[in-house]
A and B are shown apart, each in its own frame.
Chain A
Amino acid sequence: MVSQSSNNVANASSELALQTENLKVFYGSNLAVRDVTLDIQKNRVVAFIGPSGCGKSTVLRCFNRMNDLIPSARVEGKITFHGTDLHAPSVDPVQLRRRIGMVFQKPNPFPKSIYENIAFGARINGYTGDMDELVEQSLRKAAIWDEVKDKLQESGLALSGGQQQRLCIARAIAIAPEVILMDEPCSALDPISTLRVEELIHELKQQYTIVIVTHNMQQASRVSDCTAFYNAEATETGNKVGYLVEYDETTTIFHNPAEKETQDYVSGRFG
């Protein structure tokens, strides 16, 4: 059921950014997600939706190999980034993360000045251009420049939650990634801040490929071009295993899904 629907969006002619094939993630001996096969095209916004525990964040963290940091995590199957296997020996996770940025669920600015928050990533990655300009550009792109331009030396922690999250987005785009992964970026924000971040996502999509995990279905329908719906099932041992149910254009998922599970979920009948 997965294989057919998952590649519906690949018909479009534009270039593929990320691809997974039969992706499986284990924590220790427990399978967390199975059989995820999907293609993500360049410069599109892809939303991952589904009930909690369905592994959507786990899949997201595979794209920049954040799961490497969890000693017990193990990834099977294939993920490619522009055709290159992410787990090939020649791919270095540190280098990869420079090109695939990430924004987290809770705003996590470093306990440094606003300026340093942006400059940090650029500096460690050997940025050779004009740092002041990069900081300004990134803050502008993240639509927060006007609010912070007079207090660049103040701590990033002094900002409000919504501002902190936009600072984190600015921080992510400062190192010129191609893909930005967003793990429920608005779940800790109030509605107004959420709206601003969503507007920002719309603008960023001109330049970046964005994968966003959300359990707010309205948000998915507002910001994304394509949507992947994940669900979870319990195994005999009581563990939850997530799997990809359906992946298609967002309008299709929300209005004319192929699977009944999806239909039930998006119409609010469960989850």
Chain B
Amino acid sequence: MTVDLPSTNTDLWKPNRVLNRRIETSVKVLFGAFAFVSVATTIGIVFTLIFETFEFFLDDFFREKLAEQVGRPIEGLWGDIQTFLYSLRHFLTDTKWTPLFSSAQFGIFVLISATVMTSGIAVLVALPLGLLSAICLSEYATLRTRSILKPILEILAGVPTVVYGYFALLFVTPLLQNFIPVQGFNALSAGIVLGIMITPMVASLSEDAIFAVPRSLRDGAYALGATKRETIISVVLPAALSGIVSSLILAISRAIGETMIVTLAAGQNPRLGFNPTVPVMTMTAFIVQVSLGDTPAGSLAYKTIYAVGMTLFLITLVLNIFSFWFVRRFREKYE
């Protein structure tokens, strides 16, 4: 007795090739569009910032001040250019930041100085703490210890920044006040806690880089009579340099853009200079200050936060580009 195999009966097979192809195409287009959302986000950020920043620099406030100065109305395209240059000059050279006063001044370096100071303190905390922790995890800790320590770092990395802000304002500042005369709001405790916040990032990314250094390099150093420390400092760390630097830069740009810690603990007082014991106002803190107030769209204050945001964006962008360049330039390839 012979059995007809189903496959020989072609009538039973009716694949809908056309439908399948259509589904395939539509899925591809739809998901491609989803993927494009991330590009659109970047485009959106750049255009939003550029647009509102131009609005800021060309605001009537500056136009009128300039007109007052030169004694005639500022009009036309040439007038726009003049206004732009005038306001840009003041943005970069004024030594006060008083955008909400009637005699407003917009010296961005007042805010930048505060951001640099808090981020600088953060780096002073996070670089040794993060790098040494990374070395400990990858070179000193046993696998067992490591499996306990890594989750601790991960918990630290997952703490919401508003909690760190609470910690800075209500724990670190009172603690510091026992030793040094700092005010209730100050850049020092904000910077320290900012450093604690970015430490897990430095530690975990640096550890990846250190871990990737091949064992043969370590053996090479030991075979020359190097001690453990000499091996780590002279061979392992230089070999992991590009990864360590890029982790640090990523952490710095996180610190520069961090908002809640500096808003809560560093204060709201725009002040040029680098005194860490007094209240200051960072770029991000200013954006929060304006956002919390009732600022109508189109007002000068509203445009100001975009000019500040643009500055912030450019700084982090430059850091990112530098980090890319550094990694490409200094990455060593091992088999």
A binds B: yes
Residues of A within 8 A of B (CB): 64, 66, 69, 71, 94-98, 101-102, 104-106, 108-112, 120-121, 124-125, 155, 157, 168, 171-172, 175
Chain B 201-231 near chain A by CB (<8 Å), digits 1 or 0: 0000000000000101111111111110010
CA gap between A175 and B226 in the complex, in Å:
11
Name, among B221, B224, B227, B234, the residue most crowded by chain A CB atoms within 10 Å (CB to CB): B224
How long is the Cα–Cα vector from A37 to B227 in the complex, in angstroms?
A: 30
Are A66 and B219 in contact, with the CB atoms below 8 A? Answer: yes
Which residues on A sit within 8 Å (CB–CB) of B234?
A: 110, 120, 124
Interface residues of B in 278-292 (CB under 8 A from A): none
Contacts of B184 in A (CB 8 A): none
Residues of B within 8 A of A102 (CB): 219, 223
Q: Can you list the 4 inter-chain pairs with the closest CB atoms, starting with the nearest? A: A121-B224, A98-B225, A102-B223, A108-B216
Is the pair A175, B220 in contact by a Cβ cutoff of 8 Å?
no
Judging by beta carbons under 8 Å apart, are B216 and A97 in contact? no
* Cβ-closest chain B residue relative to A71: B142
Task: Give bound CA distance, A125 to B224, whole Å.
Answer: 9
Among B220, B235, B333, B335, contact of A104 (Cβ-Cβ < 8 Å): B220
Interface residue count on the B side (C-beta < 8 Å): 22
Distance of A31 from chain B, by nearest CB (Å): 23
Indicate if the CB atoms of A110 and B235 lie closer than 8 Å: yes
Q: Are A171 and B224 within 8 A (Cβ)?
A: yes
Q: Is the interface of B mostly helix, strand, loop or mixed?
A: helix
Known: A97-B225, A121-B226, A171-B220. 7 other contacts (CB 8 A): A94-B226, A104-B216, A108-B216, A110-B220, A155-B332, A172-B224, A175-B224
Once the chains bind, are B222 and A95 in contact (CB under 8 Å)?
no
Q: In the assembly, what is the distance between CA of A109 and CA of B226, in Å?
A: 15
Tell me whether B225 and A121 are in contact (CB under 8 A). Answer: yes
A64 to B214: give the CA distance in the assembly, Å: 20
Most B CB contacts (10 A, CB to CB) among A64, A102, A104, A121 go to A121
Could you give, for residues 294-335 of chain B, a 1 whenever the CB lies within 8 Å of some chain A CB and a 0 otherwise? 000000000000000000000000000000000000001101
- B230, closest chain A residue (CB): A124
Report A-chain residues with C-beta under 8 Å of the C-beta of B222. Answer: 66, 69, 97
Whether B223 lies near A97 (C-beta < 8 A) is yes
A110 to B332, CA, bound (A): 10
The answer for the CA separation of A124 and B238 in the assembled complex, in Å, is 16
In chain B, residues 80-108, which have Cβ atoms closer than 8 Å to a Cβ of chain A? none
Q: List chain B residues, Cβ under 8 A from A104.
A: 216, 219-220, 223
C-alpha spacing A121/B225, complex, angstroms: 7
> Given contacts A66-B219, A104-B220, are A94 and B225 in contact (CB under 8 A)?
yes
Complex CA gap A94/B234 in Å reads 15
Listed residue (B225, B226, B333) with the most chain A CB atoms within 10 angstroms of its CB: B225
Task: Write the nearest CB–CB distance from A205 to chain B, whole angstroms.
Answer: 19
**Docked-complex contact A69 and B219, CB < 8 angstroms:** yes
Which of A64, A106, A108 has the most chain B CB atoms inside 10 A of its CB? Answer: A108
A26 CA / B25 CA spacing, docked (Å): 61
- A104-B216, A157-B332 known; A111-B226 Cβ under 8 A: no
A112 and B238 contact, CB distance less than 8 A: yes
C-alpha gap A69/B225 in the complex (Å): 13
In residues 120-168 of chain B, which contact A (Cβ within 8 Å)? Answer: 142
Determine the chain B residues whose CB is within 8 A of the CB of A101 once the complex forms.
223-224
State how many angstroms separate the Cβ of A71 from the closest Cβ of chain B: 8
* Minimum Cβ distance to chain B for residue A88 (Å): 18
Closest to B235 in A: A110
Contact A66–B223 (Cβ < 8 Å): yes
What 0/1 pattern do residues 62 to 95 of B give for CB contact below 8 A with A? 0000000000000000000000000000000000
Residue B260 at the chain A interface, CB threshold 8 Å:
no
B238 partner residues in chain A, CB cutoff 8 A: 110-112
Contact status A110-B226, CB under 8 Å: no
Q: Assess whether B219 is in contact with A108, with CB atoms less than 8 Å apart.
A: yes
Q: Which residues, 238 to 268 on B, are CB-close (under 8 Å) to A?
A: 238-239
> Which residues from chain B contact A98 at a C-beta distance below 8 Å?
224-225
CB proximity of A142 to chain B, nearest CB, Å:
14
Nearest CB of A to B72, in Å:
63
